[in-house]
Chain A
């Protein structure tokens, strides 16, 4: 980008926003040039979303000014922001799931013909937008939103904003829920939008994505804007240092190989999904003590069901699950918790924590039948409180207040608390489902290190993740799951990200038979 004569699309000057005593944004300046992509990078709780909510009219700033296209503005509500051409794509989509794509897009802005919704006009306009940006959304305008995958739902959200005339788009962590392929597709869409003259703000905590797509990057830390840099003039290391405030290591974690006894054996497992369709088809694997099995795959290929089958949350159709030699296929979730199978759940908001409970009460979740917290059915709240305080201290949970509500914690801190609680079970097997999804870099590093430590202590660990670098960093073996099967089991040291990407889309590696074979020899059938 060169120096421009047109005023910037957005200019935030000296924005300060306080919540009680907490300063969420401290004197932040931010400029979005017209026709560019500006990444807003920062850990969870660094103030990115707050800053954008100020711009989008969700919050009033305490100090500072907003101008859009050179004109000073005050937005009292998102509706005002929308009128000024600012649209926001939220991390949690604002779609009415049972309604069709078309209905969702026009909702509240329906073109009318004599008081009736003019569906054909709406259809024509949406198709026009789709063809301009090469979107496939027009293919499924009459499909209920709930039947679309998350990537497609996100494109619906983007079209919704464009339909309302948004020139400036705020994308709040848009890649958090997407598969690598979908991320690539989103990047293409963002490029097209930029070329068409739209200005985009890309909120993220993923360094590589920011570097790939953005023209400029602003890093926030603890509510302050640390620096704004041009993407081509910086590196991941620099950005990470700015975000975390210290050096961060990215390499594969060192480990010694200490293969022990088989702790978890899964044999011929078949499972059905919620609608009765087969989601897991004949999966076999063994995880030994002191070993991490990584399960990679595009979401929806049976990983969730497989994990529920291991942890006892879903019954299996056929096959068996063995824990330290004994068959646990038919045992309840509670039995398996008591046996020593810990589980970091896929969804910390709905499963891992009770949102309305304090951390003390959450520390009991899953422990309610385990000594010393429970004895003969009676609870010992003092022991539970001690446990909560232990977790907070050992896992550096902020705020360090056992009586704080779960909702007052950022995603990273919630996750650290859950990891701490699950490790506290003193388990033999740990199943970690997307252990660092939506978690900031500092916490990711921490959680990864803890998992590697547990491995050294002789735990058998299963890590399911859609983040390839995470799987490659942690796993001793990577199983790639596609349509309910392990399509291959590969060595993380030699496999490339491209190869994993291919496997995840169901294409076998023809020229590299060796990778799969050698793994099979180690006792795993792909």
Chain B
């Protein structure tokens, strides 16, 4: 309503216009400032709760990169956040809201363990057999994650079902179904916790750099390779141009010869494949078996914030993933080494997520709703 510009709308318009005009550097600056502001407020809350905020800040630093162990732990989490963040970024860039990365990650991780455990008796022990098993397991994860994401893609493209709702529901189905298999058909009768059998000894990535059983150069390498591959696909291939154009302006993409329905399915599939790969690396590099998925960290959900923080740019996902990895790592350190309750730590991490995601979210909304005035 042009005749009804009031203060709030005007302020929103100006803010939106600023965000839309912000350069990449300014946006990075905004992200850093948001993080700092969130941490400051977090420290105030820590103080208000009767804990020493300086000690807390100190623990935060030590816990994320204060020792070789902390760095290794940060990198371990970061691998998961970066990969899952890439999965989210692929879909968001194409204008498809895949909220089901968590479910695809679980399905993928379980497919890895299930296929390796089932095939292991038929393959020789030793390195060669191990490599074959890991390749098969990773492939199984990528296929399973891809298919599990293709399903909501097909439902959206050909059945007009909102992908946000279907992917969220499929998360629950993944947790329930994989949980049932882990507790039943695949459970390890000798284990006290609910989990599958351990992967055979010849399955596992070598650590090489850090002497940490949960972190491997193979995982880091695979992550960097996926980042590079997706960045190249998005910027240098016809498919990537089709995909990103669909996300910006679907009608223009259709005009240029993109089949919108097929693009939705392809995007979801690719996103799910990366989510599945994340699951494979989680299973092989970190767990070595698969536990009840309701107890697995919310990497697929946090990845949404990682991707938003990175403005859905695959390269930007790396620093964003490192930040989240660092926070997660610091959180687990503080939990053990101080009396700050775990809920408070989670709350502060949540605050950071909120602060860094909101500016980008606002920007995306402004783009979609035409806030910020006529962009001509």
Query: Is there contact, CB below 8 Å, between A369 and B2?
Result: no
Query: Is there contact, CB below 8 Å, between A378 and B2?
Result: no
Q: A108-B1, A379-B238 are in contact. Are A407 and B375 (CB under 8 A)?
A: yes
In the bound complex, how far is the Cα of B256 from the Cα of A108, in angstroms?
A: 41
Query: Is there contact, CB below 8 Å, between B239 and A366?
Result: no
In the bound complex, how far is the Cα of B259 from the Cα of A87, in angstroms?
A: 43
Query: Is there contact, CB below 8 Å, between A364 and B241?
Result: yes
In the bound complex, how far is the Cα of B253 from the Cα of A357, in angstroms?
A: 12
* Partner of A79 from B3, B239, B245, B249 at Cβ < 8 Å: B3
Interface positions of A from 323 to 355, Cβ below 8 Å from B: 332-334, 337, 343, 345, 347, 350-355
Count of A-B residue pairs with CB < 8 Å: 93
A31 on the B face (CB < 8 A):
no
B162 on the A face (CB < 8 A):
no
A518 on the B face (CB < 8 A):
no
Q: Using CB atoms, name the residue of chain B closest to A369.
A: B238
Chain B residues with CB below 8 A from A264, complex form: none
Query: Is there contact, CB below 8 Å, between A313 and B242?
Result: no
In the bound complex, how far is the Cα of B341 from the Cα of A270, in angstroms?
A: 69
In the bound complex, how far is the Cα of B3 from the Cα of A366, in angstroms?
A: 39
A502 on the B face (CB < 8 A):
no
In the bound complex, how far is the Cα of B239 from the Cα of A379, in angstroms?
A: 9
Interface mask (A272-292 → B, CB under 8 Å = 1, otherwise 0): 000000000000000000000
* A-B contact sample (4 more), CB < 8 A, given A365-B255, A381-B236, A407-B376: A94-B3, A332-B257, A350-B251, A361-B241
The list of the 3 closest CB pairs from A to B, nearest first, reads A334-B257, A351-B255, A366-B256
Query: Is there contact, CB below 8 Å, between B249 and A354?
Result: yes
Q: How many residues of A contact B (CB 8 A)?
A: 42
Q: A79-B5, A313-B255, A379-B236 are in contact. Are A354 and B248 (CB under 8 A)?
A: yes
Chain A residues with CB below 8 A from B1, complex form: 94, 107-108
Query: Is there contact, CB below 8 Å, between B257 and A337?
Result: yes
Q: Provide 23 A-B residue pairs closer than 8 Å at the C-beta atoms, listed in order of the A residue.
A: A77-B10, A78-B5, A79-B4, A82-B3, A88-B2, A94-B1, A94-B3, A332-B257, A333-B255, A347-B251, A350-B249, A350-B251, A351-B252, A351-B255, A354-B249, A354-B252, A361-B241, A366-B255, A368-B241, A369-B257, A378-B236, A379-B236, A379-B241
In the bound complex, how far is the Cα of B10 from the Cα of A221, in angstroms?
A: 31
B298 on the A face (CB < 8 A):
no
In the bound complex, how far is the Cα of B249 from the Cα of A223, in angstroms?
A: 32
Query: Is there contact, CB below 8 Å, between A357 and B248?
Result: yes
Q: A107-B1, A368-B242 are in contact. Are A313 and B236 (CB under 8 A)?
A: no
B254 on the A face (CB < 8 A):
yes
Chain A residues with CB below 8 A from B248, complex form: 354-357
In the bound complex, how far is the Cα of B1 from the Cα of A107, in angstroms?
A: 9
Q: A108-B1, A356-B248 are in contact. Are A333 and B238 (CB under 8 A)?
A: no
Query: Is there contact, CB below 8 Å, between A351 and B241?
Result: no
Interface mask (B227-268 → A, CB under 8 Å = 1, otherwise 0): 000000000111101100100110110111111000000000
Query: Is there contact, CB below 8 Å, between A353 and B252?
Result: yes
Chain B residues with CB below 8 A from A90, complex form: 2
* Partner of A365 from B236, B237, B256 at Cβ < 8 Å: B256
Query: Is there contact, CB below 8 Å, between A351 and B236?
Result: no
In the bound complex, how far is the Cα of B3 from the Cα of A87, in angstroms?
A: 8
A183 on the B face (CB < 8 A):
no
Tell me the dominant secondary structure on chain A's binding face. Answer: loop
A141 on the B face (CB < 8 A):
no
In the bound complex, how far is the Cα of B257 from the Cα of A345, in angstroms?
A: 13
In the bound complex, how far is the Cα of B248 from the Cα of A474, in angstroms?
A: 35
Tell me the dominant secondary structure on chain B's binding face. Answer: helix
Q: A368-B238, A377-B239 are in contact. Are A333 and B3 (CB under 8 A)?
A: no
* Partner of A355 from B3, B236, B249 at Cβ < 8 Å: B249
Chain A residues with CB below 8 A from B4, complex form: 79, 107-108
Interface mask (B1-45 → A, CB under 8 Å = 1, otherwise 0): 111111000100000000000000000000000000000000000
In the bound complex, how far is the Cα of B236 from the Cα of A22, in angstroms?
A: 35
Query: Is there contact, CB below 8 Å, between A333 and B252?
Result: no
Query: Is there contact, CB below 8 Å, between A379 and B237?
Result: yes
Q: Using CB atoms, name the residue of chain B closest to A104.
A: B1
In the bound complex, how far is the Cα of B374 from the Cα of A58, in angstroms?
A: 11
Q: A77-B5, A407-B375 are in contact. Are A368 and B257 (CB under 8 A)?
A: yes
In the bound complex, how far is the Cα of B251 from the Cα of A107, in angstroms?
A: 31
A434 on the B face (CB < 8 A):
no
A508 on the B face (CB < 8 A):
no
- Chain A's nearest CB lies how many Å from the CB of B266? 13
In the bound complex, how far is the Cα of B3 from the Cα of A88, in angstroms?
A: 9
- Chain A's nearest CB lies how many Å from the CB of B12? 14
Interface mask (B266-300 → A, CB under 8 Å = 1, otherwise 0): 00000000000000000000000000000000000
Chain B residues with CB below 8 A from A354, complex form: 245, 248-249, 252
Chain A residues with CB below 8 A from B3, complex form: 78-79, 82, 87, 94, 108, 164
In the bound complex, how far is the Cα of B9 from the Cα of A79, in angstroms?
A: 13
Q: A82-B3, A87-B3, A337-B257 are in contact. Are A377 and B238 (CB under 8 A)?
A: yes
Query: Is there contact, CB below 8 Å, between B254 and A365?
Result: no
- Chain A's nearest CB lies how many Å from the CB of B370? 10
- Chain A's nearest CB lies how many Å from the CB of B279? 28
Chain B residues with CB below 8 A from A351, complex form: 251-252, 254-255
In the bound complex, how far is the Cα of B2 from the Cα of A77, in angstroms?
A: 9
Query: Is there contact, CB below 8 Å, between B255 and A343?
Result: yes
In the bound complex, how far is the Cα of B261 from the Cα of A332, in angstroms?
A: 13
Interface positions of A from 58 to 117, Cβ below 8 Å from B: 58, 77-79, 82, 87-88, 90, 94, 107-108
- Chain B's nearest CB lies how many Å from the CB of A258? 31
A130 on the B face (CB < 8 A):
no
Q: Using CB atoms, name the residue of chain A closest to B259.
A: A332
Query: Is there contact, CB below 8 Å, between B375 and A355?
Result: yes
- Chain A's nearest CB lies how many Å from the CB of B320? 22
- Chain A's nearest CB lies how many Å from the CB of B117? 37
Query: Is there contact, CB below 8 Å, between A333 and B257?
Result: yes
Q: Using CB atoms, name the residue of chain B closest to A88.
A: B2
Chain A residues with CB below 8 A from B239, complex form: 377
Q: Using CB atoms, name the residue of chain B closest to A384.
A: B241
Q: A354-B245, A354-B252 are in contact. Are A366 and B5 (CB under 8 A)?
A: no
Query: Is there contact, CB below 8 Å, between A366 and B257?
Result: yes
In the bound complex, how far is the Cα of B252 from the Cα of A366, in angstroms?
A: 9
In the bound complex, how far is the Cα of B338 from the Cα of A501, in angstroms?
A: 84
In the bound complex, how far is the Cα of B175 from the Cα of A207, in angstroms?
A: 68
- Chain A's nearest CB lies how many Å from the CB of B361? 17
- Chain A's nearest CB lies how many Å from the CB of B264? 16
Chain B residues with CB below 8 A from A79, complex form: 3-6
Interface positions of A from 169 to 207, Cβ below 8 Å from B: none
Chain B residues with CB below 8 A from A357, complex form: 245, 248
- Chain B's nearest CB lies how many Å from the CB of A173? 13
